[in-house]
Chains A and B, each alone.
Chain A
C-alpha cells in the first residue's frame, strides 16, 4: 500500500517539465462572446468528429493577456474579444513571438442600460451618462476645466430625470464591455463639451484620462464578469441601472427593461444599423502558428464564420447576436479559411 502511494506520487511528479501534446482547442476571452462561442463549440464537437473546444470566460483584456503570452500548447489558441485588439497588445504579442494572428469579426452587440421592470422609465442622453458616471466632469459650461464628479442624484445631471440617487451596476475594468462603454458612451458624452473636444487636440493623453474614466466614489458599482449577477442586483434594487450586453437584455426581458439612449431603444434593427449609439463589434483572434499543430482550429473557425451560424438567419442570431452585413461576413469567412495575417498597423496608436 505504502509502495503504491509512493510510486503514484512519483509518477505524478514525473510528468512535470515536459510539454504536453494537446488535441483539444483552448479558447479564452470575453464574457460577452462566451455564450456564442460555447454554442459554436458544442455544435462543432457534435458534428465534426474533433474534440469539443474548452472555453474559459476571462474577459477580453484577460484573454488577450493569456493569448499573447507565447506560442506552444500551454497557451490558448483562440481568444474572444468584445472590442478590437489594442496596439499595445499587438506589441506585447509580438514581443512573445505571437506575430501571426488572424482577426475575425463575428457580429455586433449593443450595450444596454436597463433597470428592473418595477423601476422608472428612463430616457438618457450620452451627455447625461457622461455627467452621471465620469470621474471628472466639466466645472464650467464650456468644459474647459474639470472638477471631481459632485452629482449624486439623476435630476442634478438633467432636470428631466427623476429625483433619485445615481446607482449604476456595471462590469469591472478587465471587461471588454467596460472598455467599450467608456469609449462609446462616456467619451462621446464628454465630446459634447467644446472645451473637452479642444483638449483632445492639445493633450491627447490627458483627454483620454479625463474623458474615459469612470467614477470610483460609489455611484458606479462594479459587479464582476457575471452579467447574471447584474440582472439580479437590478431586480433587487429597482432604483439601480445596469450596464450589460444586448444578448442578456434579450434573455431577461421578463425581469428588466431597457432605457432609451439618445432617443433610441437598444433593439435588434437599431443596433445593426448603427442607429443605437452604444454598440460595438465582437471579435475573435486566432494564433496561426497553432492551426498546424492543434487539430480542428480551421474547421472551428469555418463553423463560426459560416452563414449557418452568424448569417442573418444563423443559430447565433436566435441567441442574441446581431449579425454583420453579408458582404462583411463573407470577407471574414474567407480570412478564416486562409488565416490572413492581421496587420497591427491599422490600429490607432
Chain B
C-alpha cells in the first residue's frame, strides 16, 4: 500500500457517508413534497366529494287544483304562475300536523330548497294529467339541513352555534326516522351557475365561461405566437434589433399576470370600449399572457429540428417558405402543441388579470356567447371561498376538484402528444 492509496482509503469512509447523506436529503425532499401533495389532495377530496351529493327529502305532493288553478281555467299561464310553495307547505304540515304558528310554519318550510317550487311547476306543466293526483317526490333540502346532514358532528353543537334550531333538528330527525331522507346526486352542481343559495349554485356557468375565454385565447395566441416564433427563428436576420426583441419576449414571460389585466383595462375597455365581464376581453388579456410562453416553445422546437433537413430541402430547390411550411414546422408541431397546451392550462388557472376587467362578479345566468357576462373556474372558486354561508365550503373544494381535473386532462394530453409524435434525431 503506497501513500496515495492509504490517503484514499482513509477518506473513503467519509466520502461514502456524505454520499449517502446526499441521497437521503434528496429522498427526504421528494417524500416531503409527495406528502404535502397527498395532504392537500386528501383534504380537498374529503371536503369536495360532499358537494357531489345533496340531501333529499321525500314528500307526497298533492297537485291541488284549488290552489294551482282556483278559477278552473285550465290555462297553462295560470298554472305556471301559481304558488307551489303552498303545495310543499301542505305536504309538510300533513306530516307535522301540530305545527300551528306562522313562524313555526315558516321555519318548517325553510327545510326545502326554494328551487323545488320551479321544478314542481315544470313537472306539472309537462304532464298536466298529474293535476289532482298525489305523487312522491324527492325534494332537495335547503343548504342548512344539507350541511347538518353531511357533518353529523354539528348536531352536538349548542343551539346558537348550530345552523338550525332544536325544533328544526327535531323535525329533520322525524323525517329521517321515517326513511324520508337520503343523499342523491347533486345535478344542479353540474348544470347551474352561481347562486346566493349554496344548494342552488353550480360550476357549469364558470366552466362555460372558461371555455369561451380559452377559445378566444387559443384563436389569438396560437397563430400570432407561431408566426412570431417562425419569423424570429427561421427568417429574421440575427442582429441587435432581433436580439432586443428576443430578450423582451423572455422578459414578458416573467411579467406578473395582473399587469396584463391592467393593460386589458386600459386598452380593451377604456380605449376600445369592449364590454366589461365578457369572455372575449378575458380571452384577449389571457392571450397576451400566453403569447410569450408559446413563442418560446415554438422557437425551442424549431431549434430542435436538425439543420440537415433545411439544407436538404433548400438543396432540392425549395424556397425558404416551402422549407418552413413543408418540413420544419410539421416536424416541430408536437413541441409547439405541447407548449400551447401548457400555456392554455396556465391561462385556465389564472384569475388575477380578470379582476381588472370585471370577470370577478356574481353571475347567475350560464353564458351562451363570447359577449355574455361570465366568470371562469378559478374566479368562481375564489368567490365561493369569500361567501359567508357555510354550505359554500364544500362547493369551494368541489370547484377546486373540477379545476384540477381539467388541468390534469390538459397536461396529460400534452404528455401524450409529446410521447406519440415527438421525433428523436
Contacts and interface: CB of A to CB of B under 8 A. Distances in A.
A34 B362 CA distance: 9
A5 B225 CA distance: 13
Contacts of B276: 26, 74, 76
Interface string B110-146: 0000000010000000000000000000000000000
Looking at chain A's contact residues, the main secondary structure is: mixed
A109 to B, nearest CB: 13
B387 A228 contact: yes
A16 B373 contact: no
B365 interface: yes
B362 A38 contact: yes
Interface string A81-125: 000000000000000000000000000000000000000000000
A227 B388 contact: yes
B373 A227 contact: no
A248 interface: yes
Contacts of A28: 358
A26 B277 contact: yes
A197 B360 CA distance: 43
Interface string A29-63: 00000110011011001100001101111000000
Nearest to B193: A52
Contacts of A229: 386
Interface in B364-386: 364-365, 370-371, 373, 385-386
A317 to B, nearest CB: 13
B223 A6 contact: yes
B189 interface: no
Given A8-B219, A41-B362, A52-B365, A22 B275 contact: yes
Interface string B259-281: 00000000011001111110010
Contact of A39 (B196, B219, B358): B196
Nearest to B215: A8
B404 interface: no
A42 B373 contact: no
Given A22-B275, A74-B273, A252 B362 contact: no
Contacts of B371: 20
B388 A20 contact: no
B178 interface: no
B388 A228 contact: yes
A17 B364 contact: no
Contacts of B365: 24, 45, 51-52
Contact of B388 (A22, A26, A35): A35
B388 A5 contact: no
A207 B219 CA distance: 57
Contact of B275 (A41, A57, A74, A226): A74
Contacts of B389: 251
A253 B216 contact: no
A55 B220 contact: no
Given A5-B219, A254-B161, A56 B388 contact: no
A248 B388 contact: yes
A307 to B, nearest CB: 16
B153 interface: no
Nearest to A226: B386
A45 B205 CA distance: 15
Contact of B373 (A35, A45, A54): A54
B250 interface: no
- Candidate in A41, A42, A76, A248 with the most chain B CB atoms within 10 angstroms: A42
Contacts of B358: 26, 28, 54, 56
B160 interface: yes
A41 B371 CA distance: 20
Contacts of A8: 219
B63 interface: no
A19 B216 CA distance: 19
A39 to B, nearest CB: 5
A54 B277 CA distance: 9
Contacts of A253: 160-161
B275 A73 contact: yes
Contacts of B157: 254
B257 to A, nearest CB: 18
A15 B195 contact: no
Interface string A1-30: 000011011001001111110101010100
A15 B274 CA distance: 8
Contacts of A41: 362, 364
A54 B196 contact: no
A39 B273 CA distance: 29
Contacts of A38: 196, 362
A247 B216 CA distance: 39
A74 B269 contact: yes
Interface string B95-114: 00000000000000000000
A269 B280 CA distance: 48
Residue among B224, B276, B389 with the highest chain A CB neighbour number at 10 A: B276
Interface string B156-178: 01001110000000000000000
A228 B373 contact: no
Given A20-B274, A26-B276, A38-B196, A251 B362 contact: no
B222 interface: yes
A331 B309 CA distance: 81
Interface string B22-33: 000000000000
Given A9-B223, A12-B220, A16-B274, A35 B161 contact: no
9 contacts: A12-B283, A12-B284, A12-B370, A28-B358, A54-B358, A54-B363, A228-B385, A228-B387, A253-B161
Given A9-B223, A227-B388, 8 more contacts: A16-B268, A35-B196, A42-B195, A52-B365, A57-B361, A229-B386, A253-B160, A254-B157
Interface of B: 118, 157, 160-162, 195-197, 216, 219-220, 222-224, 268-269, 272-277, 280, 283-284, 358, 360-365, 370-371, 373, 385-390
Q: Top 8 nearest A-B pairs by Cβ distance?
A: A52-B364, A251-B388, A254-B161, A55-B362, A56-B361, A16-B272, A54-B373, A38-B362
